[in-house]
Amino acid sequence: MQLDPSTGWFQGIRHCPSPNFNARPDGEISLLVVHNISLPPGQFGTGRVQAFFQNRLATDEHPFFSEIADLQVSAHFFIERDGSLTQFVSCLDRAWHAGVSRFDGRDNCNDFSLGVEMEGTDDQPYTDSQYARLTELTRQLLDAYPAISTQRIRGHCDIAPGRKTDPGPAFDWSRLYATLKD
């Protein structure tokens, strides 16, 4: 997998373009936000996350889906339990993943961040394959966007405290940071 800096798309991974994005107001990329998601909640490998980020989620397939049917959200990346990586939005564009958020004294983190969704829940351990893929992706993003540093890799819970809890206590931050130092 290799980032094409001119397009903001990685080559060698699955592309599943989302309509839920717009232009970054200043073009700045200086924060990486880690999230979790599973659809239906707690179920993995369903393909529903991809459908959700493309506004194609069939609301009659699960009661929870009717609760989120009107949301228009996306992330730049999604890492499944087996380590498969999908990109939904160019790194050069603003994905709609952070919502009401604040980091380092600034609101609207979508304006200057990249969002990575880990397939999971707050309380279930993430897989070795997910950590390996997240490390590989993060290393390339750190190289491509030097304004992102390890101090600027945060959870959704950190930028939207009280509103969001992901990636949750099951996410091993020390493991991620240790692998980025190798």
CA 121: distance to chain centroid?
Answer: 13
The share of the chain scoring above pLDDT 90, in percent, equals 98
Mean pLDDT of 93-109: 97
Q: What residues pair up with 87 in beta bridges, in sequence order? A: 15, 77
User: Which residue numbers are catalytic?
Assistant: 117
Mean pLDDT of 138-142: 97
**How is residue 54 written in tokens?**
């493309």
SS3 assignment, position 15: strand
Chain mean pLDDT for the chain: 97
56-76 burial, b at 16+ Cβ within 10 Å, e below that, comes to ebeeeebeebeeeeeeebbbb
Q: How confident is the model at residue 161 (pLDDT cuts 50, 70, 90)?
A: very high
Mean pLDDT of 119-142: 98
Compute how many other C-beta atoms are within 10 angstroms of the C-beta atom of residue 39. Answer: 22
52, 98, 91: which is closest to 72 by C-alpha? Answer: 52
Compute how many other C-beta atoms are within 10 angstroms of the C-beta atom of residue 107. Answer: 11
Topology (CATH) of 13-181: Lysozyme-like (3.40.80)
How far is Cα 74 from Cα 144, in angstroms, rounded to an integer? 21
Output DSSP code: residue 82: T
Q: How confident is the model at residue 181 (pLDDT cuts 50, 70, 90)?
A: confident
Mean pLDDT of 4-26: 97
Domains of the chain, by residue range, sit at 13-181
Residue appearing with tokens 């493309």? 54
Mean pLDDT of 42-56: 97
Instruction: Reply yes or no on whether the pLDDT at 131 is more than 90.
Output: yes
Record the pTM: 0.97
Instruction: Reply yes or no on whether the pLDDT at 182 is more than 90.
Output: no
**How is residue 142 written in tokens?**
């750190």
How far is Cα 117 from Cα 36, in angstroms, rounded to an integer? 5
